[in-house]
Chains A and B, each alone.
Chain A
Amino acid sequence: MYILVSIAILVTMVLALVRALKGPTVYDRVLAVNMFGTKTAMLLAVIAYLYGRPDFLDLALAYALINLVGVLAVLEFFQNNHRDHAEYDND
């Protein structure tokens, strides 16, 4: 059962990567990368029980912590960047 769930999560990670490559706007890419990060934490938690090594849960916790900080930092960067250039191009 673990292997089915991990395959589903892996397929979703591939779909998120496709959206990150295709995404028309930068926010689509950030959304896809955020989704990829949370799926990483979930995949690590499933793999910890697939291979019977619960140590992986610490890694999952670390990935979940890093992901939020990364997404918020990237968002803040793009928001401020857009505000600075708002008078030059408004797309």
Chain B
Amino acid sequence: MTELLIDALSWLLMALGGGFVLIGGIGALRLPDFYTRIHAASLTDTMASILIFFGIILQAGFSLAALKLFAIMIFLLLTGPTASYALANAALQSGLRPEKPTVTSTGRDK
């Protein structure tokens, strides 16, 4: 019973993580602006990696592999936002400005 529960929980976590990865990838391809794309891409670095790695850790149980998975997850969680911040800072320093908001329903121009 406990085995089944842990299996179901880990599958749920991994499916959610796969969904987040897919959403982030589609967003990084289709969003209109660099600063919106960086938002979609950093979503996959944090939320999706938490979900997928906790899903695999539940399958691994108490072992050295679980410790390694936890270390990879912590490392990705530390470096992903750092890289995103450095990227946004570099883009802003070099003069890349966010696009002005466009509201088409009220007829505001670009």
Contact = CB atoms under 8 A, between A and B. Distances in A.
B47 interface: no
Interface residues of B, number: 48
Interface of chain B, main secondary structure? helix
Contacts of B76: 38, 41-42, 64
Contact of B28 (A5, A11, A15, A54): A15
B36 to A, nearest CB: 11
B15 A75 contact: no
A35 B28 contact: yes
Given A12-B24, A64-B76, A34 B96 contact: no
A8 B19 contact: yes
Contacts of B79: 64, 67-68
Contacts of B75: 61, 64-65
18 contacts: A9-B21, A19-B28, A28-B34, A32-B28, A34-B83, A35-B44, A42-B21, A45-B52, A45-B69, A49-B56, A49-B59, A54-B60, A57-B65, A57-B68, A60-B72, A64-B76, A68-B82, A75-B87
